[in-house]
Structure 1
Amino acid sequence: MEQLNELYHPLILEHNQHPRHYEKHPEAAVILDAYNSLCGDKFKLYLDIKAGRVEQASFSGYGCAVSKAATSVLMDKIQGKTLEEVKTLLNEYFTTTKTDQDLSGVSDPDLLAFAAAKKFPGRLKCAVLAWEAMEEFLQQR
């Protein structure tokens, strides 16, 4: 039970109950789909990017507390960032969620809230769903 409490960090609960940038933006220049066929989590990510900078990011859809919170944090963190800064953020998040590396060098403490997801293989996909969609988009640019 203690490990499960670790998964539901207060930041995750907060972003699930009060997601940031949770709104449809159908006129966005870029619309990404993030879908987890194992559990049904499904989000659309709406991005406006100009001159290599994320000017606006929002999302809509549904999913578990972990996937919704992770998507909310992603949208919040990338507002106003250059695409290079977004890539750095993605790398730091994946280090936090997918590796056993020492996390003392993680510069954003909010990302640490998702570190426990790696202890729950069935929930890891929830934590990285939107982040992987963003990574795939950036790799294709």
Structure 2
Amino acid sequence: MMDPYPSSQASTQGFRETQEIPEVPLDLAEIDAAWGRLFSVRDSLSSYNLTNETYSFGRGNVDHRFDSRQFNEQFLSAISKTHFRISRERKSATEVFVVLEDLSCNGTFVNQQLVGRGKKKILQSNDEIALAHSTRKGNV
């Protein structure tokens, strides 16, 4: 069937039937051992399998360090050396919570709500974590 509205401009980009998906090495043992996973919402950040009880994030001596490969220098200076911590806390043998603790001066946000320095927030599936500004999302 002929297109009733043909384009009046030549195509400027080539057309491919499918996109190639890059090979990403998976550590299946780590995935099986994980109690949680942080997915990156930025190309420059990694996703993390959470297998230990506690993880710290920031630009200093932490488990997951942010640097100039992930954020520009101006924004990086707003990230604390230890910005936040995520831990798995057991209330009982059957009740487990995933908790984010804000350790920063400039704030950690969960779903655009400030947690507050020294305060904790129980995380739910698909919560969005932002650093120093409610729209600077990093992970879910």
| TM-score under structure 1 length normalisation | 0.31
Q: Higher RCO, 1 or 2 (CA under 8 Å, sep at least 6)?
A: 1
Q: Greater strand share, 1 or 2? A: 2
Mark the structure with the bigger radius of gyration. 2
